[in-house]
Structure 1
Amino acid sequence: MKVKGVMLALGLGLLANTTVQASDDLIRLGSVSTKWNALGKNDRIEVVGFQDKELNVTCYLSYAEKGGLKEVVGLEEDTSDGSIHCVQTGKISDDDLNKAAKKGQKEQVFKRKTSLLFKSMQVVRFIDFENKAVVYLNYSDRVIEGSPKNSISVVKINNNSQ
C-alpha cells in the first residue's frame, strides 16, 4: 500500500511541476546556474517572457528554481524570489484599457506552480487610469501563508511613438 502512495505522490508531483500560465506563448530566454547538484538539474535562475493577451505589453520574469533529486521527482519547493519588467510593445487604446479593467480591479496574467501542491508565483495586472499606466505585480502565494517578497513593473502608456 505504501508503494502505491509513493507512486501517486510522484505522479502528482510531475503534474504539479508544470508551468500554468494565461498565455500559451511563454518565451524561454535562458537560465544561469546558481548551485551545482550531483543528481538532477542545478539550482538556477530562469528568465522567461510572456505577452499580456489583453494589452500590447510584454513582461519578462526572472525567478529561482531548485534542482536536484527533489526536482526530478517533483517534490521541490522553489523560493519566492523573482523579478519582473514589462514594456509596451504596441499601441494601447483607451478602449483596450477599459476592456481589461472591466474584468476587475486586478487580473491574473501569469501563474506557475512553485511546489507540489500549495505554492505558486503569480503576476497580476492593475490599471491606473489617472496616470495612464499599467502596473504588474509579481508575488508568490501559498495556501496557508504567502511571502511578502514581490516585485512590480509600471508601463506608462505612450502612443505617440508607436
Structure 2
Amino acid sequence: MKLQILACAALTLCSTTVFAEHIGSVDTAFKLIGPDHKVVVEAYDDPKVAGVTCYVSRAKTGGISGGLGLAEDKAEASIACRQVGPVSFPAPLKQQEEVFNQSLSILFKKLRIVRMVDQKRNALVYLTYSDKLIDGSPQNGVTAVPVDRNTLIPVKK
C-alpha cells in the first residue's frame, strides 16, 4: 500500500514538471552500469515574455539510480537568460513570479526559476535555486535581460 501511494505521488509530481528543450550535455564521470554522470544544458522560453530564453546548466546523476530516474540530482545550477528575438509582453507581469520548475528527484526536490522585474533599470532578473520539502540549498544563480528603454515592462499593480 505504501509503495502504491509513493508511486502515485511520484506520477503526480512528474505530471506537473515543466519540460525543457535539451540543448546538449557533457559526461563528467564514467559509470560502469547505467548512464554516466553529466552536466546538461536546457533551454526554457519565458512563457510570459516573448523573445526571452533561459539556458540552465545542471548536474544530472547517472548510474543505476540515475538510469531508473530514482537519483537525486545535485542542487547546483547555472543560468543565463538572453534576448533571442523581439521582446514583447502580452500581459502585465507580476513584480516577482516563479516561471519554471523542474523536479530534481523522485520526491520533493525542485529546481526553480523566478523572474523579478527591475523597473528602475528596465530589466528582467532571473534567479535559479533549488528547494526541498525540508531543507533547500542556498546555492543559486542569477542573470538579467535588459529591455530596450523604448519598451517599458508592464507590471501588475
Residue 25 (structure 2) pairs with residue 35 (structure 1): no
How many angstroms apart in 2 are the aligned matches of 1:113 and 1:78? 9
Residue 92 (structure 2) pairs with residue 99 (structure 1): yes
CA-to-aligned-CA distance 1:110-144 (integer Å, 9 cap, x gap): 11111111101011100011110000001000011
Letter in 2 for 1:138: T
1:17–1:31 distance in 2 versus 1, CA, 3 Å: farther
CA contact 1:13–1:73 (8 Å) conserved in 2: no
TM-score of the two chains, using structure 1 as the length reference: 0.79
Residue 48 (structure 2) pairs with residue 54 (structure 1): yes
Q: Structure 1 stretches of 5 or more lacking a match?
A: none
Letter in 1 for 2:106: L
SS at match of 2:39: strand
Aligned residues: 149
SS at match of 2:92: helix
RMSD of aligned Cα (Å): 2.6
Higher helix share: 1
CA contact 2:56–2:80 (8 Å) conserved in 1: yes
CA-to-aligned-CA distance 1:27-63 (integer Å, 9 cap, x gap): 2111000111112111100001111021121110100
**Percent of matched pairs sharing the same residue:** 35
TM-score of the two chains, using structure 2 as the length reference: 0.81
CA contact 2:61–2:72 (8 Å) conserved in 1: yes
Higher strand share: 2
How many angstroms apart in 1 are the aligned matches of 2:26 and 2:7? 27
